[in-house]
């Protein structure tokens, strides 16, 4: 643990004037009188009917339910768009920065309103109704946000699928949520390369069991695409024929807002379901407090809207707060490694939020790429998605922020809807590498493997002991999986899947996943998913996947593969296996190493000892622990020998 500490007092105070004593008072109230605290926070939003019931939560696995603001009625899109029209209709809601540095656009709240209404009417014209599921498979362009908000406006439940996912992954999500419509683009652009989105959609829809009534295609690059009879429509054309106004649908606070798929330690990705009222209150409050957001700031979160970070901190949180949010289509290293800082200067970005993997990649390119840009508009930096090593933190703080911007390391998950542990600017003393302290209403705790609470400075499994409004409500279509995944390991507690240390000041240091979930460049991947992609190859009998430390990506993917009888290792086969994973999941799941082996270390009952596989992948043979219980202890030497030879 780094001993360095940067006191809040040594940095500029919060622009909001929020001070340490305010945090203490608010935090204590949020814990001591949660319903009163969250009742007050509901007034951040415009309600059609204000809620009178604040929370009704049970984490008992036989009666698990989570309800916030359950008698409230509102519309999320109205809160992000319409209610700002009178006060800031002509101010910029979205700044779009294209992949091509010569492309940029400012969209005011008034323009946003018209676009979103048109998108909503386009969906209605195709008979999409309240409660229907709509897949959004788009590049990082404003039309992705219009599509999300349009769904929210008419009460349809969107499920955004990251544009980097393969047709196979897209197909399984379409089937799982029973979507009737899909919104996509002809192509996406990333770092000068084209992403064939519509082609991927065609491939997904050609798969068995996939059926969709409507595909709306935004013409972005103008590429040649095939259109299928009554199913496919060019969105640009449809929008010309629809009315520019659309009434927002009154939604109950507990009506679903979106489903977002995320990987777990077993099985296929699960559809994390978030509802309307609690999610919106939480996204809006965390955006304002964690980022000290004030009118006039330009907020840039570099995530993709295909992830939860993009949902909460590009679209819903900032727009609920009437902010100016920047959407960037490209990548941080195109056309060169100075792109982020060029964009910061060009659009006067004041708050910048990114992932440690991007920071490490930019750090490797050298300081000049940063220092040759002015960056004086920046006043706050944030990170999310994976543990940040103190070295990268210090570089971010000293080089990017010139030692004058607080760095907020925000810990949270797809399931949590918004940030749960983070420093607050002007309030929290910073320790590089620590996510620091809980947000309002959040009660983190550490437990040992038997579920006993561990007090004081210690290491343990991170749990949360009480609900908050942004919490996911269920796994779409599989409530039992929700109960089992999160509330059964430690009954009565929400298990995060993460390990953490708490230091003597009560600061939390997230140490990473303690389950079989990998975190590759801040993206979640289940080892089981990658293994099942590998065994789908005709030459593969069995596969075991583990993570290993990777300088840039945080974790890399190491796959052990046993071939079927009669198959032998070749360069060609290894390439085929990598391609197979790309095809089944997407490029982000591509293994960094494929290790063909005659066997795996298994216990006599057949359980794979992943601990040993992790150590060997890490090239760390000193601490393999007890291998005597293995069915075939000799396999360990074979694996090590093989590893050394690669
Ligand atoms: O392991 C933690 C890591 O990312 C996981 C959640 O991944 P996902 O649902 O994809 O959401 C990522 C963006 C919110 C967590 O279980 N994680 C997220 N933020 C941090 C982190 N690990 C350490 N420090 C963080 N700030």
What is the pLDDT at residue 644? 86
How confident is the model over 339-368, as a mean pLDDT?
97
Q: Which atom of ligand 1 is nearest to the CA of 412?
A: 14
Q: What is the largest CA-CA distance in the chain?
A: 74
pLDDT digits (tens, 9 = 90+) for 212-244: 999 999 999 999 999 998 999 999 999 999 999
* 384 CA distance to ligand 1 middle (Å): 7
What is the pLDDT at residue 1? 55
pLDDT digits (tens, 9 = 90+) for 112-141: 999 999 999 999 999 999 999 999 999 999
| 385 annotated binding-site participant | yes
What is the pLDDT at residue 456? 97
| 386 annotated binding-site participant | yes
User: Does residue 435's CB lie within 6 angstroms of at least one atom of ligand 1?
Assistant: yes
What is the pLDDT at residue 629? 82
Q: pLDDT-derived band of residue 6, with 50, 70 and 90 as boundaries?
A: very high
| 409 annotated binding-site participant | yes
How confident is the model over 267-279, as a mean pLDDT?
96
pLDDT digits (tens, 9 = 90+) for 298-323: 999 999 999 999 999 999 999 999 99
How many angstroms separate the CA atoms of 284 and 38, rounded?
13
* 385 CA distance to ligand 1 middle (Å): 4
| 10 annotated binding-site participant | no
User: Does residue 159's CB lie within 6 angstroms of at least one atom of ligand 1?
Assistant: no
Cβ-Cβ contacts under 8 Å for 376 (sequence gap 6 or more): none
Q: By three-state DSSP, how is residue 610 classified?
A: helix
* pTM, two decimal places: 0.96
The answer to whether residues 111 and 134 touch, using CB atoms and an 8 Å cutoff, is: no
What is the pLDDT at residue 2? 53
What is the residue with the minimal CA distance to atom 12 of ligand 1? 385
What is the pLDDT at residue 598? 95
| 513 annotated binding-site participant | yes
- Buried b / exposed e along 29-58 (16+ C-beta atoms within 10 A): ebeeebeebbbebbeebebeeebeebbeee
Kindly report whether the peptide bond that precedes residue 3 is cis, defined as omega within 30 degrees of 0. Answer: no
Substitution site in 307, 384, 461, 554 for ligand 1 pocket (most atoms within 8 Å of beta carbon): 384
User: Does residue 461's CB lie within 6 angstroms of at least one atom of ligand 1?
Assistant: no
User: Does residue 313's CB lie within 6 angstroms of at least one atom of ligand 1?
Assistant: no
Complex ipTM > 0.95: yes
The rounded mean pLDDT for the chain is 96
Substitution site in 486, 524, 589 for ligand 1 pocket (most atoms within 8 Å of beta carbon): 524
Q: Which atom of ligand 1 is nearest to the CA of 496?
A: 16
The share of the chain scoring above pLDDT 90, in percent, equals 95
| 302 annotated binding-site participant | no
How many angstroms separate the CA atoms of 104 and 112, rounded?
16
| 524 annotated binding-site participant | yes
User: Which of 307, 282, 287 has its CA nearest to residue 297?
Assistant: 287
User: Does residue 304's CB lie within 6 angstroms of at least one atom of ligand 1?
Assistant: no
User: Does residue 410's CB lie within 6 angstroms of at least one atom of ligand 1?
Assistant: yes
| 184 annotated binding-site participant | no
How many angstroms separate the CA atoms of 387 and 540, rounded?
34
Q: pLDDT-derived band of residue 79, with 50, 70 and 90 as boundaries?
A: very high
Phi and psi, residue 615, nearest 5°: -60, -45
Neighbours of 558 (CB within 10 A): 24
User: Does residue 414's CB lie within 6 angstroms of at least one atom of ligand 1?
Assistant: yes
The share of the chain scoring above pLDDT 70, in percent, equals 100
User: Does residue 262's CB lie within 6 angstroms of at least one atom of ligand 1?
Assistant: yes
User: Does residue 416's CB lie within 6 angstroms of at least one atom of ligand 1?
Assistant: no
How many angstroms separate the CA atoms of 545 and 561, rounded?
9
Substitution site in 259, 314, 385, 388 for ligand 1 pocket (most atoms within 8 Å of beta carbon): 385
What is the pLDDT at residue 625? 80
pLDDT digits (tens, 9 = 90+) for 138-161: 999 999 999 999 999 999 999 999
Substitution site in 263, 413, 515 for ligand 1 pocket (most atoms within 8 Å of beta carbon): 413
How confident is the model over 179-193, as a mean pLDDT?
98
DSSP strand pairing (92-97 vs 104-108): antiparallel
């Amino acid at each position: 643990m780094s001993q360095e500490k940067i006191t809040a007092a040594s940095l500029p105070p919060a622009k909001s004037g929020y001070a340490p004593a305010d945090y203490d008072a608010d935090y204590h109230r949020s814990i001591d009188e949660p319903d009163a605290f969250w009742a007050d926070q509901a007034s951040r939003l415009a309600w059609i009917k204000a809620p009178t019931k604040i929370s009704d939560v049970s984490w008992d696995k036989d009666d698990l339910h989570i309800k916030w603001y359950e008698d409230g009625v509102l519309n999320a899109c109205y809160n992000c768009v319409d209610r700002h029209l009178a006060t800031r209709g002509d101010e910029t809601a979205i700044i779009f920065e294209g992949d091509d540095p010569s492309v940029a656009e400012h969209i005011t709240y008034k323009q946003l309103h018209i676009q979103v209404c048109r998108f909503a009417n386009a969906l209605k014209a195709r008979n999409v109704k309240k409660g229907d599921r709509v897949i959004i498979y788009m590049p990082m362009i404003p039309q992705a946000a219009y599509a999300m908000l349009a769904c929210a406006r008419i009460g349809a439940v969107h499920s955004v699928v990251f544009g980097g996912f393969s047709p196979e992954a897209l197909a399984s999500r379409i089937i799982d949520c029973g979507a009737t419509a899909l919104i996509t683009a002809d192509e996406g652009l990333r770092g000068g390369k084209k992403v064939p989105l519509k082609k991927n959609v065609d491939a997904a829809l050609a798969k068995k069991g996939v059926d969709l009534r409507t595909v709306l295609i935004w013409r972005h690059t103008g590429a040649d695409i095939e259109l299928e009879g009554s199913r496919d429509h060019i969105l640009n054309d449809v929008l010309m024929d629809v009315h520019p106004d659309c009434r927002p649908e009154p939604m109950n606070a507990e009506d679903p807002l979106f489903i977002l798929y995320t990987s777990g330690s077993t099985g296929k990705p699960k559809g994390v379901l978030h509802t309307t009222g609690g999610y919106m209150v939480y996204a809006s409050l965390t955006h304002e407090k964690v980022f000290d957001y004030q009118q006039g700031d330009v907020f840039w979160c570099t995530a993709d809207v295909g992830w939860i970070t993009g949902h909460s901190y590009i679209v819903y949180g900032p727009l609920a707060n009437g902010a100016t949010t920047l959407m960037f289509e490209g990548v941080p290293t195109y056309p060169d490694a100075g792109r982020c800082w060029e964009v910061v200067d060009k659009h006067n970005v004041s708050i910048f939020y990114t992932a440690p993997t991007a920071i490490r990649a930019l750090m490797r390119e050298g300081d000049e790429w940063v220092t040759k840009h002015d960056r004086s508009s920046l006043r706050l930096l944030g990170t999310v998605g994976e543990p940040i090593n103190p070295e990268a933190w210090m570089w971010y703080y000293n080089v990017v922020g010139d030692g004058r911007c607080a760095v907020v390391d925000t810990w949270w998950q797809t399931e949590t809807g918004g940030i749960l542990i983070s420093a607050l600017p002007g309030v929290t003393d910073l320790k590089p590498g620590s996510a620091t302290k809980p947000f309002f209403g959040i009660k983190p705790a550490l437990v040992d493997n038997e579920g006993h609470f561990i007090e004081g400075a210690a290491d343990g499994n991170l749990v949360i002991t009480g609900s908050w409004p942004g919490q996911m409500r269920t796994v779409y279509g599989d409530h039992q999986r929700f109960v089992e995944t999160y509330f059964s390991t430690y009954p009565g507690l929400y298990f995060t899947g993460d390990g953490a240390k708490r230091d003597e000041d009560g600061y939390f240091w997230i140490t990473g996943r303690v389950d079989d979930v990998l975190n590759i460049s801040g993206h979640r991947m289940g080892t089981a998913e990658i293994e099942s992609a590998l065994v789908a190859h005709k030459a593969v009998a069995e596969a075991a996947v583990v993570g290993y430390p990777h300088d840039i990506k945080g974790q890399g993917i190491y796959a052990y593969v046993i071939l079927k009888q009669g198959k032998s290792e070749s360069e060609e086969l290894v390439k085929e296996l990598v391609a197979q994973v790309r095809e089944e999941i997407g490029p982000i799941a591509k293994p960094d190493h494929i290790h063909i082996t005659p066997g795996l270390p298994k216990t006599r009952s057949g359980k794979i000892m992943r601990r040993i596989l992790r150590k060997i992948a890490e090239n760390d043979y000193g601490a393999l622990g007890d291998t005597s219980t293995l069915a075939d202890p000799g396999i360990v030497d074979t694996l090590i020998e093989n590893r050394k030879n690669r």
